[in-house]
A and B are shown apart, each in its own frame.
Chain A
Amino acid sequence: MKNASILMIVGSALLLGLFVFPMWNIRLGAPQYPEPLGIDIHINGLQGESEFDIQNIDGLNHYIGMKVLPKPDEMWEFSVFPKVVLSMAAIGILIGALGLLGKISSVWFLAWFVIMGILGALGIYDFNLWLVDYGSDLDPNAILKLVNPDGTPMVYNPPLIGHKKLLNFDAFSYPRLGGIMLGIGMLFSLIAFFIGRKATLKAN
């Protein structure tokens, strides 16, 4: 149970990486952009991969009528997500510590993992809603109004994960270090549960 608890503490602490490193990244490359433009998605706001990338992406997006990328105070997520992540990290560390002291069983670790999983899924769902809205809620006076072969207006939401071709751009969407640390942290909590359970079963 000792090892399991330590793993739980470490796993929960890994969430704090989200306050330092970006969670997700969307990168746009095109022939005339040999150095691709990139958006780093942090839990508290968007940042250009290079200093002026946000401004330059907005500059390109205005042709197809996309809204400018949101500032931190324009999306509730950027104020709520940090609180949720901080709380979950604190709770995780707390139950890990209690586990270490033998006050609780490893089922708590599983419970933390499940809650974190639900929150994560909600977060991804919300992220996808935003991507779809951002890519399809277009200015009716846009300079370029493109339609699909079937006549429906073309939408420009980048992929949730992976690659997608958007006009002349190749869009790539992948987790970055903060997001990877979150994933590893959650994995640790699950492993912590199994190790803890095994230890308990053995003891009995």
Chain B
Amino acid sequence: MKTFIKINTLLIACMAFIATSCNQGGDSSNGALSSNIAEKVYVAPGERDEQYAFLSGGYSGNLTVYGLPSGRMFKEIPVFSQFPTSGYGYSEETKPMLNTSFGFIPWDDLHHPDISQTNGELDGRWIFANGNNTPRIARISLSTFETEEIIEVPNSAGNHSSSFITENTEYVVAGTRFSVPVPQRDMPIKEYKENFKGALTFIAVEPEHGHLDIKFQLLMPGFNYDLSHPGRGKSHGWFFFSTYNTEEANTLLEVNASQNDKDFIAAVNWKKIEEYVNNGGGKKMPAKYAHNVYDESTHTATSTMKDEVLTVDPSEVPGAIYFLPTPKSPHGCDVDPSGQYIIGAGKLSADITVHSFDKMLAAIDAGNFDGDAYGIPIIKYEDVVAGTVQSGGLGPLHTEFDGKGNAYTTFFISSEVVKWKLETWEVVDRQPTFYSVGHLMIPGGNSRKPHGKYLVAMNKITKDRYLPTGPEMEHSAQIYDISGEKMQLLYDFPTHGEPHYAAGCDADLLMNNSKKIYRIDENMHPYAIKSPSEAKVVREGKDVHIYMSTIRSHFTPDNIEGVKVGDKVYFHITNHEQDFDVPHGFSMIGQGTSEILVMPGQTKTSLWEPKRVGVWPFYCTDFCSALHQEMQGYIRVSPANSNIELSWSLDE
């Protein structure tokens, strides 16, 4: 009997095995594969994503934070643009952040975010980003996810080959796309050639607080400096810039800057220039540029106008700069995780050119150059090229790496991502993008240690990917799983503004350092009050300062009288909550500015210039509690010649 049961069990087990085998065979042909893909991007309610992705907002001027693999957007961080959602650029504390030598500029075109590194690996302290239009570099804290510093870059125009950092965050580098007269002057445009300069700016990052200071500007020939990346590992100490318009055309660049068969990648030995500068080299030049710093303890930004910059003439530091000929107006200029290969993506070409750092050094040692451009030696193409990727695609733009010996390049014209092998230069896989991909991002893909699991392709054209929303649509991005030999398209998601580059990292690097509240006992804002009992209203001539408190769910004070037409009323609002995710907002009827959103423990100031007599309400704009609707107050505005004394109260 026992034996019978055993055999029977064995039989059932065999049948079950056959049945499951059949199932597996059948599944792959009837759509189980797609449900498998869905699981890869499905982050169940309450679960959290594996990685952060910071996508540039392009013409939105801001930076957006997404989760991978879900593609969910978590936050828009205001950087170069006014942002009514939080009051950034509207509040008295943050207006100085957008100050420039041209005055207050409410907007910019944010392009290339880059996360700070230590020893070539992401350290998650800050993320840097460039303003392309009115050249600026911003530093954003990755504990508060707020912009902490913006420095303007003088002598630059179209701050595009920026804001990439060296492997210990020694410098954040900002190169000009448009060459301009340096210093700016009134001159005929036709005299561009030999007269315009392209400034490559090395901005020192103070290691403890990240404060920015221009160390030197390299005044290069008048080409267009498009993109750049740092050397790493063995090539640490060098920086590589792609150029186009080495023709130095000043009109119809579409044609006139596309004539040379090869442009250059400029290899800059910044350590050598740093040494030259440290020994008193370089020339100080008058220059006007703003340096804006936000202080987390005072919750206030200050803007300082600088008046001098140190410039370096390349001809005075021989042996520091070389040109590597690179075909067809290269765009992306990317360095592999080992620091050995410099990839130039000739955007008008089908092929990708890979230069070798070792070969470059050998060629420099041999001293055998193919002439020079403005005194800068040009290394012979065949002496420096390590290989060419015969891609079969068209319009390569940007390359990142998975840390497993593979490179991934976007092809704008043929709308695809091509995976190829370093050293053998053979194409391994290609996947379409939808459509016209600009840049791609692998978390850590621009470091010694990429986290090569997901790849995000950021496209320029959306067309039919989503439900139509009129002529203007958000751009589209795709997520690919790159953990296997073949790339697998997982998911589409719309992005905000126009993402150019992006940067990403593992969630663990940031999530535990993310601040929950600001401590009220550390609030050093000059108009902060430490408790609601300190609330008061003070008149200084026409200026009225209201020291106001918010806590669920009332303002202190909420009845104010004695304000007059023509006054400037400053609401200094301190949020006394010390609980995670309990902001209060503030807005005043007829106020010519945005609301402000005040985080727990923070003080922000909103300016109101009452123009009409009456009793005017203000309210909390953030649904803070069940009694949010009750969170309101009144201000009595009297005629300018009235003699009503200031008074204020709560519950009297």
Contacts of B551 in A (CB 8 A): 59
Contacts of A55 in B (CB 8 A): 578-579
A59 to B551, CA, bound (A): 9
Question: Is there a chain A Cβ closer than 8 Å to B627's Cβ?
Answer: yes
Bitwise interface map of A from 96 to 110 toward B, beta carbon under 8 Å scored 1, else 0: 000000000000000
- B579/A59 in contact, CB under 8 A: yes
A51 to B577, CA, bound (A): 13
- B627/A52 in contact, CB under 8 A: no
Contacts of A52 in B (CB 8 A): 517, 578-579
Contacts of A51 in B (CB 8 A): 578
Q: Which B230-271 residues sit within 8 Å CB-CB of chain A?
A: none
Bitwise interface map of B from 566 to 598 toward A, beta carbon under 8 Å scored 1, else 0: 000000000001111000000000000000000
Question: Is there a chain B Cβ closer than 8 Å to A143's Cβ?
Answer: yes
Contacts of A3 in B (CB 8 A): none
A35 to B517, CA, bound (A): 14
Question: Is there a chain A Cβ closer than 8 Å to B366's Cβ?
Answer: no
Q: Which A6-36 residues sit within 8 Å CB-CB of chain B?
A: 35
- A56/B626 in contact, CB under 8 A: no
User: How many residues belonging to B are interface residues under a CB distance threshold of 8 Å?
Assistant: 9
Question: Is there a chain B Cβ closer than 8 Å to A125's Cβ?
Answer: no
Contacts of B626 in A (CB 8 A): 63
Bitwise interface map of A from 60 to 101 toward B, beta carbon under 8 Å scored 1, else 0: 000100000000000000000000000000000000000000
Q: Do most interface residues of chain B lie in helix, strand or loop, or is the interface mixed?
A: loop
Q: For the complex formed, measure the closest distance between the CB of A30 and the CB atoms of chain B, giving whole angstroms.
A: 13
- For B630, give the chain A residue with the smallest CB separation: A143
A63 to B553, CA, bound (A): 10
Contacts of A63 in B (CB 8 A): 626-627
A59 to B550, CA, bound (A): 12
A35 to B627, CA, bound (A): 23
A63 to B577, CA, bound (A): 15
Interface pairs A-B: 10 shortest CB-CB = A52-B578, A56-B579, A55-B578, A59-B552, A143-B627, A52-B579, A56-B578, A59-B551, A63-B626, A59-B579
Residues of A within 8 A of B (CB): 35, 51-52, 55-56, 59, 63, 143
Bitwise interface map of B from 519 to 553 toward A, beta carbon under 8 Å scored 1, else 0: 00000000000000000000000000000000110
Contacts of A56 in B (CB 8 A): 578-579
* A–B complex contacts, Cβ < 8 Å, 6 sampled: A51-B578, A55-B579, A59-B552, A59-B577, A59-B579, A143-B627
Bitwise interface map of B from 119 to 160 toward A, beta carbon under 8 Å scored 1, else 0: 000000000000000000000000000000000000000000
Q: For the complex formed, measure the closest distance between the CB of A64 and the CB atoms of chain B, giving whole angstroms.
A: 11
A55 to B521, CA, bound (A): 14
- For B517, give the chain A residue with the smallest CB separation: A52
Q: Which B40-76 residues sit within 8 Å CB-CB of chain A?
A: none
Contacts of A143 in B (CB 8 A): 627
Q: For the complex formed, measure the closest distance between the CB of B457 and the CB atoms of chain A, giving whole angstroms.
A: 34
A55 to B577, CA, bound (A): 9
A59 to B579, CA, bound (A): 10
A55 to B551, CA, bound (A): 11
Task: Report which residue of A55, A56, A59 has the largest number of chain B beta carbons within 10 angstroms of its beta carbon.
Answer: A59
Contacts of A35 in B (CB 8 A): 580
Q: For the complex formed, measure the closest distance between the CB of A18 and the CB atoms of chain B, giving whole angstroms.
A: 28
Contacts of B517 in A (CB 8 A): 52
Q: For the complex formed, measure the closest distance between the CB of B337 and the CB atoms of chain A, giving whole angstroms.
A: 38
Contacts of B577 in A (CB 8 A): 59
Task: Report which residue of A35, A52, A56, A63 has the largest number of chain B beta carbons within 10 angstroms of its beta carbon.
Answer: A52
Q: For the complex formed, measure the closest distance between the CB of B605 and the CB atoms of chain A, giving whole angstroms.
A: 24
Contacts of B579 in A (CB 8 A): 52, 55-56, 59
Bitwise interface map of B from 337 to 350 toward A, beta carbon under 8 Å scored 1, else 0: 00000000000000
A56 to B517, CA, bound (A): 13
Contacts of A59 in B (CB 8 A): 551-552, 577, 579
Q: For the complex formed, measure the closest distance between the CB of B559 and the CB atoms of chain A, giving whole angstroms.
A: 19
A143 to B651, CA, bound (A): 14
- For A62, give the chain B residue with the smallest CB separation: B552
Given contacts A35-B580, A59-B551, 14 further A-B contacts (CB under 8 A): A51-B578, A52-B517, A52-B578, A52-B579, A55-B578, A55-B579, A56-B578, A56-B579, A59-B552, A59-B577, A59-B579, A63-B626, A63-B627, A143-B627
Q: For the complex formed, measure the closest distance between the CB of B289 and the CB atoms of chain A, giving whole angstroms.
A: 42
A14 to B647, CA, bound (A): 59
A59 to B577, CA, bound (A): 9
Q: For the complex formed, measure the closest distance between the CB of B44 and the CB atoms of chain A, giving whole angstroms.
A: 15
A155 to B128, CA, bound (A): 54
Q: For the complex formed, measure the closest distance between the CB of B606 and the CB atoms of chain A, giving whole angstroms.
A: 24
Contacts of B580 in A (CB 8 A): 35
Q: For the complex formed, measure the closest distance between the CB of B96 and the CB atoms of chain A, giving whole angstroms.
A: 31
Q: For the complex formed, measure the closest distance between the CB of B512 and the CB atoms of chain A, giving whole angstroms.
A: 13
A51 to B580, CA, bound (A): 12
A73 to B578, CA, bound (A): 24
A143 to B631, CA, bound (A): 13
Q: For the complex formed, measure the closest distance between the CB of B582 and the CB atoms of chain A, giving whole angstroms.
A: 9
A55 to B517, CA, bound (A): 14
Q: For the complex formed, measure the closest distance between the CB of A61 and the CB atoms of chain B, giving whole angstroms.
A: 12
A175 to B626, CA, bound (A): 33
A35 to B552, CA, bound (A): 19
A56 to B578, CA, bound (A): 7
Bitwise interface map of B from 631 to 649 toward A, beta carbon under 8 Å scored 1, else 0: 0000000000000000000
A27 to B329, CA, bound (A): 64
Q: For the complex formed, measure the closest distance between the CB of B186 and the CB atoms of chain A, giving whole angstroms.
A: 60
Contacts of B627 in A (CB 8 A): 63, 143
Q: For the complex formed, measure the closest distance between the CB of A161 and the CB atoms of chain B, giving whole angstroms.
A: 27
A171 to B578, CA, bound (A): 21
Contacts of B578 in A (CB 8 A): 51-52, 55-56
A63 to B579, CA, bound (A): 16
Q: For the complex formed, measure the closest distance between the CB of A167 and the CB atoms of chain B, giving whole angstroms.
A: 11
- For A32, give the chain B residue with the smallest CB separation: B581
A174 to B272, CA, bound (A): 66
A143 to B517, CA, bound (A): 27
A52 to B580, CA, bound (A): 10
Contacts of B552 in A (CB 8 A): 59
Q: For the complex formed, measure the closest distance between the CB of B99 and the CB atoms of chain A, giving whole angstroms.
A: 35
Q: For the complex formed, measure the closest distance between the CB of A69 and the CB atoms of chain B, giving whole angstroms.
A: 15
